[in-house]
Structure 1
């Protein structure tokens, strides 16, 4: 490759923490990016992927400094650029799309103002010209009625739409390189597919190179020509994507591929016994502010959902964002009120104050998507676990023994008990959340996107842990997820939701292999999978592969 062929060149890059001279969080990283090339950057959390991406655009956090090596754009070392040249470089040459658009977009500014900022800073267009380009870009990324949405705020858009807005902001100036850092982690399969296809299409139109930072290996296999594997700050392997997936040379790459979800054995359950949990025609209605006397602003988020969960069974609930999955789980846990229908536990109604109410409350626990948000930041892990036992009439010694036992079961050490949530990794916090849910030995657990934010290897560990604990303790589980690979590994039965309704349900194998609903088939077809092949894996589709570019 000649210098003329290279847009970005990273040579022996070293990054460290300013206060720790011997520390290295990125170590000796070297690679080149050609114009228009699409490259995946994969690895576990903490491997240095995001820090490397931020360093390329000069946005690494304070306290992170260069310890050696160079980053060259169009042959020029960015460390030698003046502050003004760096500002010009960001947006015109390199743009970045972050993982969570809600934290990247300013909640106090309208979308129109936020999209106008890069154009005012980097172009000489007048007000009318900027507005025209913004509307054209908003329409291009698929935002309906863009002129009517310019004065809306980020919270008034869905997660998928916010990610489209971030993409629009990044692509307004047609940069030569786009860095996408986990751009679809929190999105369901259909929206993920739409956003990725849009991103790839726009980068191809403009000849923009793409660095896709992700722990989603099937997504990288689908869209990237080349892949770089990162571990503990080092690039351990890089090359053509198909070759590395089929014949991984490094043990760590093989470990990543081995952690991909696989379909587990299908279990059978007694059809004649009374279900542990039963929902009958459950309805949840949201009322907009000021709509107490008007039906026009009332929305049925759950439209008569009926399902059963048997003892020891794992029932997965899947569907697009807004389909009612989380609403169903929260209504079932009585975290939000339901406006119609009935919930039964062990065959008894569990309306508040009913005969079965206390039995249900003591035996239903929930694992939330974000353990950092669900754990009290002021409580040590010991106190958080002890709080979950407040209703049990047991002594201090037995309580302490139970805490130590559950910590060991979820793969943590006793030393973790005196830590605060912020002192633990994401995977460790999720283990604490699981421990907190099952320490009282409930019969029913609701897991809402419990592994969606975890990287490949940590997710595999947590899934194995959940499966092991579920078999050991025998609790039933309602598993809410948009990750179809995870569902295929863990679930006994699958419920598919759309627009607040259950459109299909049945045994996992039947749903995945022979879906009856067109919507289920579209959901399963949206994202590719990786199929075992020899020492590695190969890209595969559950049904027919889409046409090139589709």
Structure 2
């Protein structure tokens, strides 16, 4: 029986108008009604540009140089602007990567959800409100009535993504384009959002084009996969066949870059901890106004942990679990309301005699290097700034140290005179690591250092980080929601929930024999890709043989 296509892209080419540089080259693919197709590739592969061109949302600096896009038999390039606007939202919907930039921060959620219905559906206000409330319930918003009167900033990232999905699915589109829909979400929320998306689309026969660099999620939820590299499709096929036996070297490279558990390191268990936290409490004050006062929130409830020399301790948990707050408090960026931080066996607190030495020996690598690097400073100046409070080093010694660390992180002197905007995301993260290590600290806190990187760059940065840690011998608190990364890099794992530590132990014990229900739920949320023959991988859910009731109670 002949296959009926909902979307047909044939020979699509996009060029940068000013330079005529071809950024999408002769791309052809199709999507059938009800089918879920994934597009994967590194940053800059052209996957988002190709997907956005379906709705004519490519950047103004680009233009279509060739090819056709047919949707429901119509050539979209030939449609007048008014008819194309009718298709957007009503027949083709899009979920963007960051819902906070897609939702209007100055508009109530109810008004934003009503906007599309009022434009595309012949319904009165009462009927539209009923549909909106029903959809909010379906996407898991506990108080739909209250949500209509709230603003986007009053919701978590996962809730905003659910609202964004609700706004798109309200119009019952035939095709949903999902551009990195779960990149910034933690493991449990990722699975919830994707399961919800699949449930809503399958119930209504909606086709999905999912753009992502998360290969495990694409492997779990798609029927077919398209692999793009440098603007071209290098391979496509059914998900099962492509994962089992990838043919193109680039596909094999992507799959080989997936995090894998390394052999357990032999670390001494009898040495004194380099950093110790005892009963740490952090509270955020409530806001005061003329007519009311909002109560504060306790973010950490008496947390205690110890990190030994050369040890990498991973801190994992869902959004709002307190892991970043704990990292910032240990780094001295937040003032705790109670508890004690000890460094080298001595208590340190702001204003104490040992505080300055501790702060120089405790450095932090932030999640987003672009926002943590001053755009007005060169790379050399940014790295050298960390040596400003080392009076015993002269100017020449500082220049030599900066050159040495830039070579250590794989950049070299050629990057010294550049500015942050002239570097890729992976290169900026290398600069952030160089700035943290140039002082040769004893302790480093890495807060989601690879969450924004694609799979191959992430693998390079992780290998670099492990190599530097082995050579320089610093201890590390590695904060992450990517359990694959944690499984590769950590010696020990600490699991947090609601500002408390619920479980801790060595990596193999936590991943293979977790005890706490929340840890089981966290590990069960993300599928694992295990190496198979012929350079392929196989998909496996952790603890999939465990009764679901045991997990659901977490």
User: Is TM (by shorter chain) over 0.5?
Assistant: yes
* Structure-1 residue corresponding to 2:537: 537
**1:426 Cα deviation from its structure 2 partner:** 0.7
**1:67 Cα deviation from its structure 2 partner:** 0.7
**1:32 Cα deviation from its structure 2 partner:** 0.9
- Inter-CA distance 297–153: structure 2 relative to 1 (3 Å threshold): same
* Structure-2 residue corresponding to 1:227: 225
* Structure-2 residue corresponding to 1:476: 475
- Inter-CA distance 232–545: structure 2 relative to 1 (3 Å threshold): farther
* Structure-2 residue corresponding to 1:357: 355
* Structure-2 residue corresponding to 1:259: 257
CA distance in 2, matches of 1:433, 1:485: 22
Alignment: residue pair count: 547
CA distance in 2, matches of 1:424, 1:130: 47
Aligned-partner SS, 2:209: strand
Give the RMSD, CA atoms, in angstroms: 1.8
* Structure-2 residue corresponding to 1:205: 203
Q: Which runs of 4+ in 1 moved over 4 A?
A: 545-548
CA distance in 2, matches of 1:383, 1:76: 55
CA distance in 2, matches of 1:140, 1:547: 25
**1:355 Cα deviation from its structure 2 partner:** 2.9
* Structure-2 residue corresponding to 1:40: 38
CA distance in 2, matches of 1:291, 1:363: 40
Give the structure-2-normalised TM-score. Answer: 0.96
The answer as to whether partners of 2:288 and 2:294 remain within 8 angstroms in 1 is no
* Structure-1 residue corresponding to 2:502: 503
CA displacement, residues 229-252 of structure 1 (integer Å, 9 cap, x when unaligned): 000000000001111111000000
CA distance in 1, matches of 2:472, 2:136: 51
Aligned-partner SS, 2:22: coil
Aligned-partner SS, 1:282: strand
CA displacement, residues 381-418 of structure 1 (integer Å, 9 cap, x when unaligned): 11111111101122222111111111111111322222
CA distance in 1, matches of 2:546, 2:227: 27
Give the structure-1-normalised TM-score. Answer: 0.97
Aligned-partner SS, 2:389: coil
CA distance in 1, matches of 2:329, 2:364: 12
* Structure-2 residue corresponding to 1:67: 65
Matched, 1:131 2:129: yes
**1:116 Cα deviation from its structure 2 partner:** 1.2
CA displacement, residues 104-144 of structure 1 (integer Å, 9 cap, x when unaligned): 11111111111111112111212112111111111111111
CA displacement, residues 345-391 of structure 1 (integer Å, 9 cap, x when unaligned): 00111111223211111100000110011111111111111111101
* Structure-1 residue corresponding to 2:433: 434
* Structure-2 residue corresponding to 1:152: 150
The answer as to whether partners of 1:348 and 1:355 remain within 8 angstroms in 2 is no
Which one of 185, 188, 191 corresponds to residue 186 of structure 2? 188
CA distance in 1, matches of 2:506, 2:79: 60
* Structure-1 residue corresponding to 2:461: 462
**1:545 Cα deviation from its structure 2 partner:** 5.8
The answer as to whether partners of 2:287 and 2:294 remain within 8 angstroms in 1 is no
The answer as to whether partners of 1:349 and 1:355 remain within 8 angstroms in 2 is no
Which runs of no fewer than 5 residues in structure 2 stay unpaired? none
CA distance in 1, matches of 2:353, 2:384: 27
Matched, 1:170 2:165: no
